[in-house]
């Protein structure tokens, strides 16, 4: 008597070994054309705005001159050869290399995960745009022009603001994305207990 060959038991909604449930459909996370277009548009807008404001300040104000705008806000022409708050002012070449590596890493990350969250093109566009604009100045001039002076905080420029805003948007999106699955799980657990 010949034995019938064994058939694999594959259940709907589970993996091939029937132990791990399949909970989400797989989707590609790499950036598509629309994400790349959004990233490029935001990054180029950030570079243009930053370069324009620096050009105006450098053309209208002599170095260390300032104009009071309102309250603690001054527009003061300052040159910064370092990074944020003037750190590493004597290390322009290493700052250029580190910034270039950071921008390359962000582009690589975006290529692999640009479709993961709809806010990524905005957040990384701001960070990359601000980084590239300051990088261009460091390579071309050896320093960046800072001009926003709040009196109680070191001077900065629009590129610095774009970088900070982009990082905050990215962190906010990550925190919200982390909270949403927990909230969904709590709602699921509560409905399971009530039924």
Q: Hey, which residues are catalytic here?
A: 146, 160
Tokens 């590239």 -> residue: 132
Which residues are CB-neighbours of 137 under 8 A, at least 6 positions away?
A: 54, 143, 144, 145
Extract the runs of DSSP E, i.e. beta strands, from 33-123.
66-70, 73-80
User: Please, are residues 47 and 39 in contact by the beta-carbon 8 Å criterion?
Assistant: no
Instruction: Classify the C-alpha dihedral 97-166-54-107 as positive or negative.
Output: positive
Tokens 């699955």 -> residue: 181
Spatial distance between the Cα atoms of 126 and 46, rounded to a whole number of angstroms: 6
């Amino acid at each position: 008597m010949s034995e019938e060959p064994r058939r694999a038991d594959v259940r709907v909604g589970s993996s091939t070994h029937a132990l791990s449930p399949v909970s989400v459909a797989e989707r590609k996370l790499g950036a598509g054309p629309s994400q790349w277009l959004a990233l490029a548009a935001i990054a180029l807008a950030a570079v243009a705005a930053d370069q324009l404001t620096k050009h105006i300040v450098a053309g209208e104000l002599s170095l260390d001159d300032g104009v009071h705008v309102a309250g603690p806000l001054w527009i003061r022409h300052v040159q910064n050869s370092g990074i944020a708050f003037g750190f590493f002012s004597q290390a322009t070449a290493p700052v250029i290399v580190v910034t270039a590596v950071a921008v390359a890493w962000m582009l690589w990350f975006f290529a692999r995960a640009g479709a993961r969250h709809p806010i990524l093109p905005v957040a990384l566009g701001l960070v990359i745009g601000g980084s590239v604009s300051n990088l261009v100045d460091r390579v071309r001039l050896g320093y960046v022009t800072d001009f926003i002076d709040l009196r109680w905080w070191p001077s900065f420029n629009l590129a610095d603001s774009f970088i900070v805003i982009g990082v905050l948007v990215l962190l906010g999106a990550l925190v919200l994305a982390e909270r949403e699955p927990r909230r969904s799980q709590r709602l699921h657990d509560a409905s399971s207990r009530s039924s």
